[in-house]
Amino acid sequence: MARYVVPEGWPLPGSSPLQAQITAQADEIAALRAELAALPPAPDLSPEIATLQEQIAGLQQASEAAANAPADLPEEAASRLTQIETGLTQLGERLTTVENRTDQPDGVAGAGEVADLEAAIAALQEGLAAQEARTAEAAEATRAEITRIQDEAEAARQASAAEAGATLEQAALAQVEAAAINGSPYGEALASLAAAGHEIAPVLTENAESGLPTLAGLTERFDEPARAAIAAELRADMGDSLTDRVGSFLRAQTGARSLSPREGTDADAVLSRAEAALRAGNVDGALTEINALSEPAKAEMDAWVLQAERYRDAGAALAALSTVVTER
């Protein structure tokens, strides 16, 4: 090895304090580099942060859905929603802090905060689920109450309609009954009853436009056919003797008849009892008496009997109709 001659007074190489300091610093730097190389790499928190972001987004959507629930939610539910929204805001702020720290070397501290956030989100999710259940229960109760009110309103409407319908039917029935008494037409009132679903007897339908026979009319029209009936019977049997025949002829010519009821089977006696029953309002009794007349006399009463039977049948039909209308 070559030797160098150093001038007198110069320091020898490698022996100065500066050189020693430089060497020491170089060794320290090498040691630090080795220590840094040995440190574990900072964990990648991107997946956890992405998951937290998705969970927070889901919670925000659920919160918005709950906010759109019926406006008349209980005060407790509204307060709970406010708390959840506040928690979401705080979570967002904490998540931003974690994102800003992911580039720092102390990754372990970031992972701890992520765990805290996950726990907080889980608590919020549980609270939101409970609130959603309460909201659904309150909404269901509200719907049930609305349905009940609607049902009651519909029942009241139907009852009111039924009451109004019953009143109209009673009024129509009263019109028909009044028309039956005075013999006037009653077609419109009867049509109203038919439209309400009532079965109408033929005798009422057939006489709706012309009017029904009346008791007063039957009484007033009784005399003429009665005299004709007596005369017809007298002509059919004038008697055996001359006196009987003369008497029968005179009675037939004069049309004389008894005005007070009397016993007997001849036409005059029968019709006297029939008229008495008629004046008492007993049309059935009058018809029963007339049915016992001889054929010649009965033939003269046929037209009157037809009207009397119509009056009787109409009365029975009206009574039945009145019962049905009243019971409904």
Tens digits of residue pLDDT in 54-73: 766 666 665 566 556 554 44
In a domain, residue 168? The reply is no
CA distances from 123 to 84, 119, 128, 281 (A): 10, 6, 9, 94
Query: What is the pLDDT at residue 67?
Result: 55
109 within domain boundaries:
yes
In a domain, 279, yes or no: yes
Round to whole Å and give the CA distance between 76 and 231: 103
Assess if residue 185 is contained within a domain: no
> In the listed set 116, 134, 151, which residue is the last one of a domain according to the structure?
151
Tell me, what amino acid is at 5? V
Q: 187 or 328: whose pLDDT is higher?
A: 187
Domain match, 305 and 234 both: yes
Domain end residue (candidates: 130, 151, 172): 151
Task: Say yes or no: 323 and 219 in one domain.
Answer: yes
Predicted confidence (pLDDT) per residue in 128-143, tens digit: 778 778 888 888 888 8
262 belongs to a structural domain: yes
| Helix boundaries (H) for 237-301 | 242-254, 267-279, 283-290, 295-300
Residue 202 placed within a domain: no
Between CA 115 and CA 118, with CA 116 as vertex, the angle to 5 degrees is 65
Tell me, yes or no, whether 62 and 145 share the same domain: yes
**Average pLDDT, stretch 176-190?**
95
Task: List the single range of 38-42, 114-118, 201-205 with lowest mean pLDDT.
Answer: 38-42
The better pLDDT of the pair 293, 234 is held by 293
Contact by Cβ (8 Å): 205, 190: yes
Total structural domains in the chain?
2
* Domain closes at, from 102, 120, 151: 151
Per-residue confidence band for 188, with pLDDT thresholds at 50, 70 and 90: very high
Total number of residues shown for the chain? 328
Range of the domain at 277: 214-327
pTM summary value: 0.53
- For residue 204, being part of any structural domain is answered with no
Query: For residue 283, is it within any domain?
Result: yes
